[in-house]
A and B are shown apart, each in its own frame.
Chain A
Amino acid sequence: DTGVSQNPRHKITKRGQNVTFRCDPISEHNRLYWYRQTLGQGPEFLTYFQNEAQLEKSRLLSDRFSAERPKGSFSTLEIQRTEQGDSAMYLCASSLAQYGNQPQHFGDGTRLSIL
């Protein structure tokens, strides 16, 4: 069990550029979640997948944001035309959905800074 892996760990970009983050979940986990955490706050839910199906999207996920999980394994989160307000830590988590609780396990996040 290598845990949830996120890349890159840090991303600095200019306003208006597009960025893409990758998340590799724990291998047998079928659910994958994205959260955003701003300074001094708890994480806020963005979206989640069960296998390759995107089952829920938060109102926080504007049309500049898109997430995919094409083969039900790794996921990517893309932000187009980045804005200052997108600066945050983007956290990925995974879990195994089956009978009984399977809690979410988090990666170390990707910190995005918009110049």
Chain B
Amino acid sequence: GEDVEQSLFLSVREGDSSVINCTYTDSSSTYLYWYKQEPGAGLQLLTYIFSNMDMKQDQRLTVLLNKKDKHLSLRIADTQTGDSAIYFCAESYNTDKLIFGTGTRLQVFP
């Protein structure tokens, strides 16, 4: 069945790069997404990648996709305290429902 896995926690120093990893099982996924959730709030779309791409860069964010290994990563350059949040990886087939991972809590310390 469909499953998305993420590590639960990541702690980084302000100014360093953060790398959040995700693995998924559904080989028919066509889009993969990264969402950010701050306490008590909904999900903010950060970026997404189509499955025929292997990399996408958007300002401080870099997404890498290894389709063979079904592995997705999100790199945040120059991590700031405002980046502290929970980050969700999600997959979908075309524009259908999203399947989310359990989220990675990113903590940035000074």
Contacts and interface: CB of A to CB of B under 8 A. Distances in A.
Given A42-B100, A42-B103, A44-B100, A101 B43 contact: no
B97 A103 contact: no
Interface stretch (A13-21, A63-71, A73-81, A105-113): A105-113
Chain B interface, DSSP helix/strand/loop, else mixed: strand
Contact of A42 (B31, B95, B102): B102
B97 A105 contact: no
B58 interface: no
Contact of B43 (A43, A44, A45): A43
27 contacts: A35-B98, A41-B102, A41-B103, A42-B4, A42-B90, A42-B101, A43-B98, A44-B100, A45-B98, A48-B97, A58-B97, A95-B95, A97-B95, A101-B48, A101-B50, A101-B95, A102-B95, A103-B31, A103-B48, A104-B45, A105-B45, A106-B35, A106-B42, A106-B43, A106-B44, A109-B42, A111-B40
Interface residues of A, number: 28
A42 B44 contact: no
A55 to B, nearest CB: 9
Nearest to B97: A45
B46 to A, nearest CB: 10
A31 interface: yes
Contacts of A85: none
Contacts of A93: 43, 98
